[in-house]
Amino acid sequence: MTSHRRTQRKRTAASGPGSGSVRIIGGEWRGRRLPVADAPGLRPSGDRARETLFNWLQPHLQGARCADLFAGSGSLGFEAASRGAREVCLIERSRPLAAMLSESAQLLQAGQIEVVNADALEWLKGRPPSSLDIVFIDPPFETDLAQRALEKLAETGCLAPGALVYLESPRRDQVVPPQGFVWVREKGIGEVRLELFEWSLRYNVRPFD
């Protein structure tokens, strides 16, 4: 895990004006702020990262079935719902954080959002085949959770053909997706790497490196 000092700096930069909140930047709830708990390792995606990601995803969001596997602040899942996703499941292992996500969903009257207090990798085991169109993977840095989540997605078969998977990780790290994932887009912002993959069993190589 990153040091508390470094994590705090990232949290403040991500939240923007008014520490302790994150702003939805597009769609139905544009401009609304959601509370962010002061929890160790909690690192909401910054505005620049989310702007880039949702520019990539915008043609695919309407009616999509989404999962935010390490929801934390919920910034990615709420943004997806705001922009037209049909179903968004926020999976968060911490009970206090999950409770805060539920409160935010109720405040927004977001009926398309489900909050699940569970371990994300265990949750994936119970997903029906081809039941997810977009998945967000933004776990605490300095862990192997990103790699394990990609492997679990491939193993369970819960991704629909052509599903998109977003990965946010330290720029210095290199996560190697298992067979079935095709690299689509990549961008570095500061110390963070943003990557987008498509699920397609016709290919099994990354066309960059």
Residue-level pLDDT at 172 = 87
> Is 80 domain-assigned?
yes
Domain count, the chain: 1
| Chain centroid offset of residue 131 CA | 17
Q: What is the CATH number of the domain that holds 112?
A: 3.40.50.150
Residue-level pLDDT at 43 = 64
Residue-level pLDDT at 202 = 58
From the CA atom positions of the chain, what is the Rg in Å?
16
For 168-179, write each residue's pLDDT tens digit. Answer: 999 888 889 999
Q: In the chain, which residues have pLDDT < 50?
A: 1-19, 203-209
Q: 3-state DSSP: the chain helix, strand, coil percent, rounded to 5?
A: 30, 25, 40
Residue-level pLDDT at 141 = 86
| Chain centroid offset of residue 184 CA | 16
Structural domain range at position 88: 4-199
> Is 15 domain-assigned?
yes
> Is 16 domain-assigned?
yes
Cα separation, 40 vs 2, in Å, equals 9
> Is 206 domain-assigned?
no
Output b/e per residue, 11-20; b: 16+ Cβ within 10 A. Answer: beebbeeeee
Residue-level pLDDT at 205 = 39
Residue-level pLDDT at 134 = 98
Q: Which two tokens stand for residue 161?
A: 């053909």
> Is 208 domain-assigned?
no
